[in-house]
Chains A and B, each alone.
Chain A
């Protein structure tokens, strides 16, 4: 365990320092930056969950929006239609949120079980296309309001309320409070993902990615394993999905279920580098702050597609292991030159 590293730094120490920084951050940052950081945390979980399937197991999903948005919609519909009838008095806003979140993750899982079963029978681009078509079918159903509860293209609002816990007011929508709700869920989720990635399960996944025939020859049930990885990936994506809906305060087919949402973790992962655990997180960080940086300049904002596209292009062409690969290289150089070792 002591040999594990993040970006060339000792893993445990780096994780603890990062966590400490994240705990202090909202008390130092202005409100808007707390909002951006909240989103970075959610996106990091989204991308890392996605990468459990892509980077570790070698399956490129182009339909993760169905878990991200599906979980969000389940939460939103529950909060809108069922929560007002719950009998928990002042604690209702909090309990309703918790129940809705669990429900959302359950729904994402329930979608993932059959979709995953059918999808893992395919490989490479065919797998990607099948996940894409499932998620776009769901997008169309929600957009057309075929279920009657999704309010079509207008979408639904997700506004959290203030809970009254024995006289103590807890405003869930408060920027800092909600930041800590996110951190409280994302941090252990990331830890679990880290443990999974470094467990025998993760090693088997990597073996399948490298050579599925040989893995099969070693007695591994490849499809079953891929199916399990698929569902696990969807569970964490669902967790990210239930966290993001109240943060954005609304859900709509275009912003929750469209294929462009499925493309986000893909881009973040390529940005950060898919073959390390931390890659997608680094990718999420850069993806989000670069987009924010662009808005700070009217000229860049007016041509953000050009700027953003060029950046993606440069990273893909010149940094094969993504930004995390570059950072690791830099860290190695710095530490190597300093003659220091951990």
Chain B
């Protein structure tokens, strides 16, 4: 029976896209303590940058992908330096509302530049076919997205656990003042973290562009899922973001088989259960 494999692959490819948003959200929260509501909007910008680069500058999907990551990363760094930095010592709520205001602004500007109609982008030539896989036929592009999700997790895990920079990030995340005393340039590290988180969101958006029609409201559709994922996985935990993303992807994919609307209900029920029985999230409180 081919069905379960299809559902699993669909869940994983959904999960991979969610992961690229959730990991930045989790990273930024873990290190900076800021819950970035605008992260979905950054994902959306990634899709538009990629579309523009592919259609108007170069025909290459791969150039578009990298350009989207860099452009959105840069935008994130600018937002951090220009705005978020001003409210670090304020209530978490002020930071949340500030990023909510950014969602409104970014969405409106995107509509002004690119229009409100649906945009579509062709699947890159190399991955346009279907692959025979475990007795089922599955689009190569989706398998590629799954690979990117897993690879991103691998690179991330290595960078955080095994590199000097990763240690700096972990140190700052657990005690900002101590890290500053030990000579870490905290403001620069913050900007760097915001750049990396936004970069990944941009990549996520660019990867989504060939899979679905999109509008400037694309970000609204992923941000709440991303919140659910980081909470279930554990705020600030990379492993948690990964497991949470795959879990929600699979839940939505299999929920279809149960009853209408269950795919939307289950993530919230899961979040309720996790928060009640393990508030720090499945992988929270275990370092990173």
Contact = CB atoms under 8 A, between A and B. Distances in A.
Interface of A: 54, 60, 118, 121-122, 124-126, 129-130, 132-134, 136-137, 140-141, 143-144, 146, 259, 263, 266-267, 270, 274, 303, 305-306, 308-310, 312-313, 316-317, 320
Contact of B90 (A143, A266, A320): A320
Contact of B228 (A125, A133, A146, A313): A133
A58 B101 CA distance: 22
B108 A306 contact: yes
Nearest to B280: A126
B224 interface: yes
A42 to B, nearest CB: 22
A140 B102 contact: no
A270 B105 contact: no
Contacts of A308: 104
Given A303-B108, A317-B86, A312 B269 contact: no
B92 A144 contact: no
19 contacts: A129-B275, A130-B276, A132-B227, A133-B228, A136-B268, A137-B265, A140-B268, A141-B265, A143-B261, A144-B261, A266-B93, A305-B107, A309-B103, A312-B97, A312-B101, A316-B87, A316-B97, A316-B101, A317-B86
> Chain A at the B interface: mostly helix, strand, loop or mixed?
helix
A306 B102 CA distance: 9
B118 interface: no
A129 B276 CA distance: 11
Contacts of A270: 93-94, 97
Contacts of B98: 312-313, 316-317
B83 interface: yes
A140 B107 CA distance: 25
B221 interface: no
Contact of B97 (A54, A136, A266): A266
Interface in B90-137: 90-94, 97-98, 100-105, 107-109, 112
Interface centre among A125, A129, A309 (most CB of B within 10 A): A129
B231 interface: yes
Contact of A137 (B35, B231, B269): B269
Contacts of A263: 100
B248 interface: no
A122 B280 CA distance: 10
B105 A306 contact: yes
Contact of A125 (B83, B86, B92, B94): B92
Interface residues of B, number: 38
Given A125-B35, A137-B265, A317-B86, A305 B94 contact: no
Contacts of A126: 231, 275, 279-280
Given A122-B275, A132-B227, A313-B98, 20 more contacts: A121-B276, A126-B279, A129-B275, A130-B276, A133-B228, A143-B261, A144-B261, A266-B97, A267-B100, A274-B93, A303-B112, A306-B105, A306-B112, A309-B108, A316-B87, A316-B94, A316-B101, A317-B83, A317-B86, A317-B87
B264 interface: yes
Contact of A259 (B35, B92, B224, B261): B224
B12 interface: no
Nearest to A263: B100
Nearest to A146: B261
A312 B92 contact: no
A268 B280 CA distance: 29
A87 to B, nearest CB: 38
A125 B101 CA distance: 19
B46 to A, nearest CB: 20
A270 B101 CA distance: 12
A136 B14 CA distance: 21
A140 B92 CA distance: 28
Interface in B222-237: 224, 227-228, 231, 235
A207 to B, nearest CB: 18
A-B residue pairs, 10 tightest by C-beta: A309-B104, A306-B108, A144-B261, A312-B101, A309-B105, A305-B108, A313-B101, A133-B271, A305-B104, A137-B268
Contacts of B94: 270, 316, 320
B222 to A, nearest CB: 14
B93 A60 contact: yes
B260 interface: yes
Contact of B102 (A118, A133, A313, A320): A313
